[in-house]
Amino acid sequence: MLDYGQILDQVRRIAHAVDVPVFADADTGYGTTANVQRMVRDFEQAGVAGLFIEDRV
């Protein structure tokens, strides 16, 4: 199991290692609305082209 920082690091490495758009699994957004906003911003800065976010409680 990886924590948020470890996942972000791996996503960043993958996005910079390939020349195709990277879509990342963002689980449920890692918490509250503020966490989702931060996660989207961080993944975008990491070079991700898109996200999959689950909508479960």
Tens of pLDDT, residue by residue over 14-54, are: 999 999 999 999 888 888 899 999 999 999 999 999 999 98
Rounded Cα distance, 22 and 47, in Å: 8
Q: Left if phi > 0, otherwise alpha if psi is -120 to 50, otherwise beta: which for 27?
A: left
Helix runs in 1-57, H state only: 4-17, 33-46
> What integer pLDDT is reported at residue 50 of this predicted model?
96
CB distance 53 to 26 below 8 Å: yes
CB distance 47 to 12 below 8 Å: yes
Rounded Cα distance, 57 and 19, in Å: 35
pLDDT tier, 57 (very low <50, low <70, confident <90, very high otherwise): low
